[in-house]
Structure 1
Amino acid sequence: MDTTAVILGGGYAGVMAANRLAGQGHPVMLVTPDERFTQRIRLHEYTAGTRADPRVDYATLLNPKVQLLAGRAEAIRPVTRTVRLVSGVRLDYGYLVYAVGSGEGRVPPGAVAPDRFSGAVEARTRLSRLAPGERIAVVGGGLTAVEVAAETAGAYPENPLTLYTAGNLVPHFSAGARAGLLRGLRSAGVRVQTGTVNPDRLPEAGVVLWCAGFGVPQLAARSGLPVDAAGRLALDATLRVPGQDRIYGAGDAAVITDPGYGYLPMTCASAMPMGAEAAGNILRSAAGTPPARHNSGFLGQCVSLGRRDGAVQFLTADYTARSFHLHGRSAAVLKEVLCRMTLRWIRGEAKKSGAYTWPAGPRMTPEPSPQVLWS
């Protein structure tokens, strides 16, 4: 049986996992349909036309020992430890990391979702064709919607922009931080309207940007692997699929279903530690040593409100808002620094396995026993 670790997905989680494994001499194949790595945290800039290209060549990010294969997985066969690609190619694996990402949610006809590169390309094109005075609508109340709305309003000041949110903007932020967000959006020229948008009756606008949540590929469900209600691959606290000692998951398309992990959001700040930890547990398994519980947490979250404004909500390890928050130019600078650091962290891991570290998560009560983790 092939000992190669096959990693499905070339996003933040998959690339981090590949680098950690390759740096320790473990054979790695990274399978991705993308020609280049997409900085999803830059897509709002690309959509608005303030960034030329959010993509980076994989050759500049990956450890040279990582084998890169262009393709998309169609089915996983755990019994034979194989993956079948859409092209018909069959890959054998010794270990598998499921890191296929998100961005396959339902988008109503007439709208476009800029949370993936293909959608951002279409959104950018549609926006560039607007006549002065034509309206822009952004639907959603999360971080993606806020950043897309602010960036687009700044780039298209002659096109009135309304952000439609079903409830509070960025609900995990404190009331004070949320008030700052609203001030920043108003300053950027964004009108905020509260109320649920019917997908069958979109707002009247020249362009409708749909930012109302992520969907995930149904590859795990099609392959008979355990999933949650949203179709995310179900994992235990060691990032392994229960009952499958060779399949691990990381990133948006996977979820830890053991108690105590509900705080982890679908974000690159969760994906990169998960990718590194999944790789670490593969290395431990190959060495015959016990796996480690996943342990990652948060310090804060930065939000872009255009090129000169931003907000920072400081957080507890379990993603709960603290009272302290930051706004204005200094917040925008910090956001930009952290965006640049994501690539530095990935490249640092490519040069030295184990170089990437992250904040510890909240204390788990009660602590899971090793016997439970291995069940």
Structure 2
Amino acid sequence: MDTTAVILGGGYAGVMAANRLAASGRSGLEVVLVTPGPRFVERIRLHEYTAGTRADATVDYGSVLHPGVHLVRDAAAGILPDMRTVRLAAGGDLAYDYLVYAVGSAAAAAPGGALRIEHLEGAAGARRELSALPAGGRVAVVGGGFTAVETAAETAGAFPHLSVALHSASDVARTLGIPARRALVKRLGKAGVQLHTGSSVATDGDVRRNLAADVVLWCAGFAVPQLAAKAGLAVDGSGRLCLEPTLQAQGRERIYGAGDAAVIAGPDYAYLRMCCAAALPMGADAAGNILRAVDGMPGVRHNSGFRGVCISLGRSDAVVQFLAADDSPARLHLHGRTAAVQKEIICRMTLRWIRGEAKRSGAYTWPTGPKVPTTTPAARSVHLME
């Protein structure tokens, strides 16, 4: 009997899942990837594209997908779990035997006058506005996370004639170790970024007026599509699909989740953050457990961890923070040109990992996570997270 696996979302998690399934060579397995975009977007490079230091942040789907994947350029308008059906925005339904929910995330709603750059369209608009600013123009980047830091530094380096300020309600890059964070702050100043921390940005009215800026780039917080919640699936307080450790949706053995729009509920997985480094292993493991289900085998518990995080500070500078498996900072960090080279290597390797999986199912491997006692409640049952 033929089996259809539908993947919602053409980002890192979705493409990795599609490739692992399609390259497995299972007889009768049809793999369908649903994504509205015409090209694969390297979201980890959007800050470069925004600043104009990279000509393009996309690649053709044909260069990253297994040729057996059926690509549907559309968005999911709804999921009907009891009918095992996805309703498409352009009309029509897709039936599935297994579903991978990998619809990703977007920046939180931005106030009037601010530009969001987490998707290609927003980055393209910001790129045009930055390029049009005259000498002395003022740019404000809002947010304290890695995306905000990278965007501010990249913009300052690409437009030395502009004044670039980074506004954060708290310390920037708070998850880094103290030495790495000190190095990052120092190097932001060296890059020409004015740092303003400790006060929230007023969002009433036009935020450009509030920040005395000509262009405001909004990199504060992330939100996920509410597709899972509208389908009646178990979600957390942010609307992320709640998963069992096998990456199956709670109470739905035919639905799996991966990437930013899904969360493995319970304290054992609280260390996993919304990032490419977590999305790729989740996509691969979700596909692997679908293959096990097709073969009549039980799924395995997801196990992934971290080894480091690289934050670019322009084309010739960066900070690399080495990490324990649970994402806690180790004592060692790198900065400067060596760190910038390491950051570029990781960005290039990301596409190589995806393409390698398209050639051989199971080619992609990743660091293991922290040790988890098998007797903990999370290993037996899963509870909703606030």
Asked if TM exceeds 0.5, the reply is: yes
Q: Which position in structure 2 is the counterpart of 1:14?
A: 14
**Alpha-carbon shift at residue 2 of structure 1 (Å):** 6.4
**Alpha-carbon shift at residue 290 of structure 1 (Å):** 1.1
Note if 1:107 corresponds to 2:110. Answer: yes
Q: Distance in 1 between matches of 2:194 and 2:379?
A: 54
Structure 1, unpaired ranges of 5+: none
> Is the CA contact 1:60–1:347 (under 8 Å) kept in the aligned structure 2?
yes
Q: Secondary structure at the match of 2:99?
A: strand
**Alpha-carbon shift at residue 366 of structure 1 (Å):** 4.3
Note if 1:351 corresponds to 2:359. Answer: yes
Q: Distance in 1 between matches of 2:374 and 2:101?
A: 28
What percentage of residue pairs aligned between the two structures are identical?
59
Selected match of 2:201 from 186, 197, 200: 197
Selected match of 1:170 from 157, 168, 173: 173
TM-score, normalisation: structure 1: 0.97
Q: Distance in 2 between matches of 1:276 and 1:183?
A: 38
Selected match of 1:247 from 232, 248, 255: 255
Q: Secondary structure at the match of 1:79?
A: helix
> Is the CA contact 1:227–1:234 (under 8 Å) kept in the aligned structure 2?
yes
Note if 1:301 corresponds to 2:309. Answer: yes
**Alpha-carbon shift at residue 164 of structure 1 (Å):** 0.3
Matches within 5 A, 1:331-342: 331-342=339-350
Q: Which position in structure 1 is the counterpart of 2:77?
A: 74
Q: Deviations over 1:216-271 (max 9, x none)?
A: 11111111111111111111111101110100000001011033101001000000
Q: Distance in 1 between matches of 2:9 and 2:357?
A: 17
> Is the CA contact 2:107–2:221 (under 8 Å) kept in the aligned structure 1?
no
Q: Distance in 2 between matches of 1:332 and 1:369?
A: 42
Q: Deviations over 1:98-132 (max 9, x none)?
A: 00001152111100011111110111011111111
370 and 165 in structure 1: CA distance in 2 versus 1, 3 angstrom threshold: closer
**Alpha-carbon shift at residue 365 of structure 1 (Å):** 2.7
Q: Which position in structure 2 is the counterpart of 1:46?
A: 49
**Alpha-carbon shift at residue 142 of structure 1 (Å):** 0.3
Q: Which position in structure 1 is the counterpart of 2:37?
A: 34
Note if 1:65 corresponds to 2:68. Answer: yes
Note if 1:117 corresponds to 2:120. Answer: yes
Note if 1:289 corresponds to 2:297. Answer: yes
Q: Distance in 2 between matches of 1:187 and 1:310?
A: 12
> Is the CA contact 1:2–1:94 (under 8 Å) kept in the aligned structure 2?
no
Note if 1:320 corresponds to 2:323. Answer: no
Which amino acid in structure 2 is aligned with residue 22 of structure 1? Answer: A
Note if 1:155 corresponds to 2:158. Answer: yes
Over 2 Å off, 4+ runs: 365-375
> Is the CA contact 1:238–1:373 (under 8 Å) kept in the aligned structure 2?
no
> Is the CA contact 2:7–2:101 (under 8 Å) kept in the aligned structure 1?
yes
Give the superposed CA RMSD.
Answer: 1.6
171 and 104 in structure 1: CA distance in 2 versus 1, 3 angstrom threshold: closer
**Alpha-carbon shift at residue 59 of structure 1 (Å):** 0.3
Q: Secondary structure at the match of 1:264?
A: coil
**Alpha-carbon shift at residue 288 of structure 1 (Å):** 1.1
> Is the CA contact 2:85–2:95 (under 8 Å) kept in the aligned structure 1?
yes
Which amino acid in structure 2 is aligned with residue 200 of structure 1? Answer: D
65 and 348 in structure 1: CA distance in 2 versus 1, 3 angstrom threshold: same
Q: Deviations over 1:314-361 (max 9, x none)?
A: 000000001111000000000000000000000000000000000000
Matches within 5 A, 1:258-269: 258-269=266-277
> Is the CA contact 1:235–1:258 (under 8 Å) kept in the aligned structure 2?
no
The size of the alignment, in residue pairs, is: 375
Structure 2, unpaired ranges of 5+: none
Q: Deviations over 1:143-173 (max 9, x none)?
A: 0000000000011111111100111111110
Q: Distance in 1 between matches of 2:376 and 2:287?
A: 21
Note if 1:280 corresponds to 2:288. Answer: yes
Q: Which position in structure 2 is the counterpart of 1:127?
A: 130
Comparing 102-111 with 86-95, greater Cα deviation is found at 102-111
Which amino acid in structure 1 is aligned with residue 346 of structure 2? Answer: L
> Is the CA contact 1:237–1:373 (under 8 Å) kept in the aligned structure 2?
no
Q: Which position in structure 2 is the counterpart of 1:231?
A: 239
**Alpha-carbon shift at residue 76 of structure 1 (Å):** 0.3
Q: Secondary structure at the match of 2:3?
A: coil
